[in-house]
């Protein structure tokens, strides 16, 4: 087992003021094939909230909870935080860690699933940052995908049940659960664990999303009908991305007479902008227009079980605890060390 001398939370980052929105979006989309109109549109989502994404505060809250939980469990690793696209930037954090004499880093990404955007991109950003640090740069291990960890599933069960309980009895009777994740290009999904590795056309990403949804539903008070939907698509319209879009699917369901939906953003770990705008504003508005009931389950955030999961994962990697996995899907095509290499 490897000894570690620090824990590092790696997240996406988000703007915290109106003047930060465009520079942030420029960081995210550098070298990417995203139409200008889409960028302007996404910028408006942030301006609607005063230019403040909730993601950084959610990271601070999670870090505070982790600090307390590490203390309570005798884990004496110093805790650091770095983002891929906004301050505190991962590059600066790793430079500081080197200055502090840190050699071995155990890092947790704030994404639970396998795909290029959620895994490989993190590996690439870490490698790029370390390359700039010269000879005795720290070594960084990225904690495995945790989509089926009991500490990830339990909050989703509790929050889905709470949303169901808010629906009037007649709506709850015919409700459809919609498990929502970030859409990605179909080619990226396929590359996350291609056919031949035991996955369907939506790759390891689609299989893991389906498995996590199943794990949540089998723990509810009864067997509600449920399905996977996708949200927050970008890219040119000519490029295929994972479907159906949550709004399109709600339209079809309303036509079929489904009286209400509960949307569970199980593709995310906190209620950041993709949840606050794309679900709480846009999808809710769609439901209102369609005249159907709508509830949105919370994401794990700082739920105690999710915080404990971080401690358990650290134990797993330091040889002081066992692996907690509810699913038995094959590993993604990228292999065990660096998953989801392909793009």
Ligand X SMILES: CC1=C(CCC(=O)O)c2cc3nc(cc4[nH]c(cc5[nH]c(cc1n2)c(C)c5CCC(=O)O)c(CCC(=O)O)c4C)C(CCC(=O)O)=C3C
Q: Which residues are annotated as a binding site for Fe-coproporphyrin III?
A: 53, 122
Binding mask 214-233 for ligand X (x = CB under 6 A): ------------------x-
Tell the smallest beta-carbon distance from residue 35 to ligand X (Å).
9
The correct pick among 21, 53, 163, 303 for binding ligand X (CB under 6 A) is 53
* Binding status of residue 142 toward ligand X by CB under 6 A: no
Question: 156 or 292, CB closer to ligand X?
Answer: 156
* Binding status of residue 202 toward ligand X by CB under 6 A: no
* Binding status of residue 57 toward ligand X by CB under 6 A: no
Task: Kindly report the backbone phi and psi dihedral angles of residue 244, in degrees, each rounded to the nearest multiple of 5, phi listed first.
Answer: -85, 150
* Binding status of residue 21 toward ligand X by CB under 6 A: no
* Binding status of residue 91 toward ligand X by CB under 6 A: no
Q: What burial class does residue 141 get, using C-beta atoms within 10 Å of its C-beta: 0-12 exposed, 13-18 middle, 19+ buried?
A: middle
Question: 151 or 293, CB closer to ligand X?
Answer: 151
What is the rounded CA–CA span in Å between residue 58 and residue 61? 5
What is the rounded CA–CA span in Å between residue 144 and residue 292? 39
- Residue 300 near residue 306 (C-beta atoms within 8 A): yes
- List binding-site positions for Fe(2+): 182, 274
For 92-148, the DSSP string reads HHHHHHHHTT--EEEEEES--S-SIIIIIHHHHHHHHHHHTT-TTPPEEEEPPP-TT
For 200-269, the DSSP string reads -TTHHHHHHHHHHHHHHHTTSSS---EEEEEE---S-TTS-B---BHHHHHHHHHHTT--EEEEE-TT-S
* Binding status of residue 111 toward ligand X by CB under 6 A: yes
* Binders in 23-42 for ligand X, by CB under 6 A: 25, 28-29, 32, 34, 38, 42
* Binding status of residue 274 toward ligand X by CB under 6 A: yes
* Binding status of residue 264 toward ligand X by CB under 6 A: no
Tell the smallest beta-carbon distance from residue 266 to ligand X (Å).
11
Radius of gyration of the chain (CA): 20
Binding interface with ligand X (CB under 6 A): 12, 14, 25, 28-29, 32, 34, 38, 42, 53-55, 110-111, 115, 117-118, 182, 184, 232, 234, 267-268, 272-274
């Amino acid at each position: 087992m490897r000894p570690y001398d620090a824990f590092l939370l790696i997240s996406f980052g988000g703007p915290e003021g109106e003047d930060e929105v465009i520079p942030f979006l420029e960081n995210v989309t550098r070298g990417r094939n995203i139409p200008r109109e889409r960028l302007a549109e996404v910028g408006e989502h942030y301006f609607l909230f005063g230019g403040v994404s909730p993601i950084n505060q959610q990271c601070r809250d999670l870090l505070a909870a982790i600090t307390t939980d590490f203390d309570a469990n005798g884990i004496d690793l110093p805790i650091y935080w770095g983002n891929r696209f906004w301050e505190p930037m991962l590059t600066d954090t790793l430079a500081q860690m080197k200055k502090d004499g840190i050699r071995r880093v155990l890092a947790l990404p704030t994404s639970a699933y396998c795909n290029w955007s959620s895994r490989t991109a993190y590996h690439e950003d870490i490698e790029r940052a370390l390359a700039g640090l010269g000879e005795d740069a720290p070594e960084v291990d990225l904690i495995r995908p945790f989509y089926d960890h009991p500490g990830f599933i339990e909050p989703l069960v509790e929050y889905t049940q709470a949303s169901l309980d808010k629906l009037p009895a007649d709506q709850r009777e015919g409700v459809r659960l919609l498990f929502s994740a970030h859409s990605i290009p179909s080619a990226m999904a396929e590359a996350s664990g291609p056919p031949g590795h035991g996955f369907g056309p939506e790759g390891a990403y689609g299989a893991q999303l389906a498995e996590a949804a199943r794990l949540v539903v089998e723990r509810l008070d009864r067997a509600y009908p449920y399905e996977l939907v996708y949200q927050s698509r970008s890219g040119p319209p000519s490029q295929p991305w994972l479907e159906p879009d949550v709004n399109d699917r709600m339209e079809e369901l309303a036509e079929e007479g489904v009286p209400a939906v509960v949307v569970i953003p199980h593709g995310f770990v906190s209620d950041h902008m993709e949840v606050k705008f794309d679900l709480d504003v846009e999808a809710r508005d769609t439901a209102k227009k369609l005249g159907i009931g709508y509830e949105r389950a919370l994401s794990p955030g700082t739920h105690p079980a999710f915080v404990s999961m971080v401690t358990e994962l650290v134990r797993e990697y330091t040889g002081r605890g066992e692996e907690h996995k509810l699913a038995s899907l094959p590993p993604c095509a990228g292999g065990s060390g660096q998953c989801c290499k392909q793009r």
